[in-house]
Structure 1
């Protein structure tokens, strides 16, 4: 997957096709190209109007492109053009300029920390191909092919030896903290894909048992986290007051959200307050009755109130800290739910995105 695809999927939560270039590659020699590019790459979908309204933003954009963007679509296309230019023959020092500009924007509170971290991971000089990189051949030996558990065991044995070697209780406490840290490690697998892409089929094959999208765990409009436990269980987490108020406010700008909020308030009326609390309410539910909370058809729209679902299973695949984050989709009209999805995906160690091969 190229830089542009990575950027739009991780940072904007969707794939956007390129339709124009804005001739940004021809302006790459501009002395402030990377500093201006950083500013243009920062706006998210929610923040675009705020940036596009600034004359200073337009003036800077015109310095490294044919014209300044005036709409969200034009902004995304300009970002596409910048990413194409950056991905070709860019020096390491220029990527460092880009990242330094991101840091400046974060310090000025123009860029949120979570988005700053995403951008740093995307434009890491060690990950982006640089024209001045020296090509090194990686010597893969049998020693380097050890499993995580084998390496973990070696570390635990080393810690045990160190505990017998040193008398300092403070040092032993630090070693104990290291032991707890490595035992609490998790490997998170995020799954994304459009509807009917076969996510559930692929996930069930991955785990070796039909769990998702089955009679046990029906189709869901909510984010689902699958973890290991010796006892199978399910827990639903509801929106808290602050999160629900954010959804209600967004209804003033998005018709799809307005319909969602109106439908929910009409159905639940005063009962809404029994689910939406100051602190997020969670309920243990019978896994066989999960549809009553998550299914758009069977829950009586109670799924509208659910933020995410935590599912535990004794599947061997999930042992040793593996968890699966199954998303309802990155084009969710409920922006608050989309933000939660993007937050989980940004922390995943591995992300699988399913697409229709004919598209």
Structure 2
């Protein structure tokens, strides 16, 4: 439990109400109760503010007049960021593992740092290095000569291939596969010849990688993920992809090989990115977009088609099929108009 006076000091917030009030969990405005703290970051939820039963709320100064009687407030510039900070302080997520389980297989040549925890049936391969305080979940495999930075956590059934490098304070969720082979093949007379993928994957510090996401190792050079990159579930990064610092990638996004994504980019859910292109710093791509060329300027890009009623979709699709025919008709009309205009400028030959 945290006192509001403590939280106000940590957040540098203005406290309005009971400084001795204690909170032990976060909650939504609508479903909060005593002992919880909520937040208002979107004005459409202001209707819940006047009758919330939370003990305290994170709000902007402009929302103070709408507060329910008896509810304390922490006034901050950005309630959502403050909520994230408090959620970390009150986090009740259990440790990935406690101690080193007797069923874990740890090669004699592996280096295990102080205060590491390794769960049941985990495998730490020859030459692998775990930094101080690393937590490895049940059934997770850390491959030969892989390096995991201090404080990083790997949940159950994560697979880290050989020579992969993961920075400090990273969080990798269950089912993620880091360092599997890239999709490298050459075609010889109709038969596919595998190209050995001899690069690796290097992931920076303070990154989060979602469940069942896969990041392929480089074909020759390395696949690179910068610092403070967040990647959602079910994403695919192909071989030799490079992701800049502080970029966010939402679920089911796929990035083809050798593409470079800049810093502070945001890729929405289900985005597809072609290979061998570059995306500039600060680019935002909305969900379900398909990126087929380099995006060299910061901005927001879209190509996904929003859902419509079936009747609208069928009508628009039918019209789309006529675009080429309509184009040719317009082209013919333009040519006819040009001829008419040209003929009208000619002197008459009749007496």
For the aligned pair, the TM-score class normalised by the smaller chain equals under 0.3
Taking structure 2 as the reference length, what is the TM-score of the superposition?
A: 0.25
| Larger Rg belongs to | 2
> Which has more helix, going by share of residues?
1
Taking structure 1 as the reference length, what is the TM-score of the superposition?
A: 0.24
Q: Which has the higher contact order (CA 8 A, sep 6+)?
A: 1
> Which has more strand, going by share of residues?
2
